[in-house]
């Protein structure tokens, strides 16, 4: 066990941690931040995506110790300062971009990372940008619309409605 320290959603945390503890276990089991989900064991589904120093990371695939000293943002850290949902979260609700909600935290984190580097993506760029996140419920149609809306683009920009 070694002490691992990092900043999660703006708060400094420090925990005794086994070397094999994954970041997602550190967040879910250690900190009780259960918004980050585990949907597979091969780094394919993206339900566990969080941001480490602003970069999207599949938290099931990195050791907590490897993130020591880093700044981690999870879905619990995406709301506005007043507690209301952020623009991207709101767009997911407005556009019905989620159903069962299980892939949603990872999907939101990946979409946020996409918009950070490409503020007005095309439909094709959104689809390519979310290729690492699997959703079984929505068929992605309304997720694409949500990301369009969050980027300030009219949904008419989407090819077929």
Partner 1 sequence: MPKDGGIGASTKRREDVRFLTGKGRYTDDINIRGQAYAHFVRSDMAHGILNSIDTAAAEAMPGVIKVFTAADLAGVGGIPTGWQVTDRHGKPMQEPKHPVLAEGKVRHVGDPIAVVVAETLDQARDAAEMLDIDITELPAVVDMRAALAEGAPKVHDDLTSNLCYDWGFVEENKAAVDAAFASAAHVVSLDLVNNRLVANPMEPRVAVGDFEDHSGNSTLYTTSQNPHVIRLLMGAFVLGIPESKLRVVAPDVGGGFGSKIYHYAEEAFVTFAAKQLKRPVKWTSTRSEAFMSDAHGRDHVTKIELALDADHNFTALRTDTYANMGAYLSTFAPCIPTWLHGTLMAGNYKTPLIYVNVKAVFTNTVPVDAYRGAGRPEATFQLERLVDKAARQLGVSPVELRRKNFIKPDQFPYQTPVAVVYDTGNYDATMDKLLELSDHAGFAARRAESAARGKWRGFGVASYIEACGIAPSNLVGQLGARAGLYESATVRVNATGSITIFTGSHSHGQGHETTFAQVVSEMIGIDAGQVEIVHGDTSNTPMGMGTYGSRSLAVGGSAMVKALNKVINKAKKIAGHLLEASDEDIVLKDGKFTVAGTDKSVDWSGVTLAAYVPHNYPLDSLEPGLEETAFYDPSNFTYPAGAYGCEVEVDPETGKVTVLAFTAADDFGNVVNPMIVEGQVHGGLAQGIGQALLENCAYDAEGQLLSASFMDYAMPRADDLPMFKVDHSCVTPCTHNPLGVKGCGEAGAIGSPPALVNAVIDAIHGAGRTDVTHINMPLTPARVWSALN
Residues contacting residue 147 through CB under 8 Å, at least 6 positions apart: 88, 91, 111, 114, 115, 121, 126, 130
- Rule CB under 8 A: is residue 140 a binding residue for partner 1? yes
**Residue from 1, 41, 81, 82 binding partner 1 (CB under 8 A):** 41
Which region holds residue 69: left if phi is over 0, alpha if psi is between -120 and 50, else beta? left
The one segment of 31-39, 51-59, 63-71 that binds partner 1 by CB under 8 A: 31-39
Locate all alpha helices (DSSP H) within 20-122, ordered by sequence.
Answer: 23-25, 87-94, 104-117
Which one, 12 or 20, has the nearer CB to partner 1? 20
The residues near 25 (Cβ < 8 Å, ≥ 6 apart) are 64
The pattern of x and - marking residues 69 through 88 that bind partner 1 according to CB under 8 A reads: -----xxx-xx-----x---
Q: Does 123 bind partner 1 (CB under 8 A)?
A: yes
Binding residues vs partner 1 (CB under 8 A): 18, 20, 28-29, 33-42, 44-45, 47, 74-76, 78-79, 85, 89, 92-94, 96, 98-105, 108, 123-124, 126-128, 130-131, 133-144, 158-161
């Amino acid at each position: 066990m070694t002490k691992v320290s990092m900043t999660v959603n703006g708060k400094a945390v420090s925990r005794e941690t086994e070397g094999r503890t994954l970041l997602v276990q550190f967040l879910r089991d250690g900190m009780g931040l259960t918004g980050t989900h585990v949907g597979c064991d091969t780094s394919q589904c993206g339900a566990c995506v969080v941001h480490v120093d602003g970069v999207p990371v599949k938290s099931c695939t990195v050791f907590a110790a490897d993130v020591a000293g880093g700044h981690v943002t999870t879905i619990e850290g995406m709301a506005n300062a007043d507690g209301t949902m952020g623009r991207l979260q709101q767009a997911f609700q407005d556009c019905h971009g989620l159903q069962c909600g299980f892939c949603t935290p990872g999907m939101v984190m990946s979409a946020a990372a996409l918009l950070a580097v490409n503020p007005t993506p095309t439909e094709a760029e959104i689809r390519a940008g979310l290729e690492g996140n699997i959703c079984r419920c929505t068929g992605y149609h309304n997720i694409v619309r949500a990301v369009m809306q969050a980027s300030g683009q009219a949904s008419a920009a989407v090819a077929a409605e």
